[in-house]
Amino acid sequence: MVLAELGGCISNALRKLNNSSVIDKKELGKCLNEITHALRDADVNFEFINRHINNIKNNINFDHLSEGLNKRKIIEQAVFNELCSLLNSEKPSFTPRKGKPSIVMFVGLQGSGKTTTCTKYARHHKKNGWNPALICADTFRAGAFDQLKQNATKAKIPLYGSYTELDPVKVAVEGVERLKKEVYDLIIIDTSGRHKQEASLFEEMRQLEQATKPDVVIFVMDSSIGQSAFDQAQAFKQSVDVGAVIITKLDGHAKGGGALSAVAATDSPVIFIGTGEHMDDFEEFNTQSFVLRLLG
């Protein structure tokens, strides 16, 4: 189910309340059942859905609602609030400092859009007054350095990397040391991915995290991976201290559930979304407008 469909189904469920002459516990139950199905079809993690649907049920107490109140509006507001809370992590969103170097490490599976997103992130911050530089610590995949170089050149972002050094930790540490001495206040490390979650990938990430001590680790996730989103995000979180999430490919056939599940699994906020292959297809994530857009 694509994102727009998820929103459509939830809106539909809410609209049906208009047609009921009496809005009571039973009608609310029917409406929440439909919303539960819509969220499941959009690949949101089951446990996560149940917790939030129960919150809505507990927040609406028909015995305490006086006659004159617009119950449909109250239910709509409760659903809106809960969808926002589903996407809101307790953790504050990370913003790099200006003037003093912040180190940002990107992690994610191969193909998630990590390398593209590193450059998009750098470019976004450059436009907003930061002075970013990139490090290619992906020594695993042949061609990774060239790919990042191509993107970085297009976006006019300086890049540190090596064609010969095979130790990603060495490249990252040297890169951070070098770039810190220069004028950069946002040092972005692109790490290698694998096609699937592998012990070797997680070990490499841990070593890179220990050696470069990033201010934030950003987990990049492809929004179209279905129910495995929760487990994948959790596996990354268990290996490194993920502090923020970027969801890619929220254009085209993207599913909405991935974003919701990644937040639940990492307990970290979504900070940006990728909405296409182009460098400028990148948006700051805003929970309320995301939910408003979702509900149309």
What is the binding site for ligand GDP (CB under 6 A)?
A: 108, 110-116, 193, 248-249, 251-252, 274-277, 281
* CB 224, min distance to ligand GDP, A: 9
* CB 236, min distance to ligand GDP, A: 13
Q: Which residue, 102 or 248, is less far from ligand GDP as judged by CB? A: 248
* CB 88, min distance to ligand GDP, A: 22
Q: Which residue, 167 or 251, is less far from ligand GDP as judged by CB? A: 251
Element (H, E) at 137: strand 132-137
Q: Which residue, 121 or 184, is less far from ligand GDP as judged by CB? A: 121
Give the residue nearest to ligand GDP (CB).
Answer: 274
Q: Which residue, 79 or 273, is less far from ligand GDP as judged by CB? A: 273
Task: Name, in order, each residue with C-beta under 8 angstroms of 227's C-beta and a sequence gap of 6 or more.
Answer: 43, 45, 257
The C-alpha atoms of residue 63 and residue 281 are separated, in whole angstroms, by 48
Residue-by-residue DSSP string for 229-265: HHHHHHHHHHHS-EEEEEEE--STT-BSHHHHHHHHH
Q: Which residue, 8 or 111, is less far from ligand GDP as judged by CB? A: 111
Q: Angle at the Cα of 95 (from 91 to 98), degrees rounded to 5?
A: 150
Helices in the chain by DSSP H: which ranges?
3-19, 25-41, 46-59, 71-87, 114-127, 144-155, 168-181, 199-212, 228-239, 257-266, 287-295
Q: Parallel, antiparallel, or unpaired: how do β-strands 186-191 and 102-107 relate? A: parallel
* CB 249, min distance to ligand GDP, A: 4
Q: Which residue, 142 or 183, is less far from ligand GDP as judged by CB? A: 142
* CB 119, min distance to ligand GDP, A: 8
* CB 115, min distance to ligand GDP, A: 3
Contact by Cβ (8 Å): 260, 44: yes
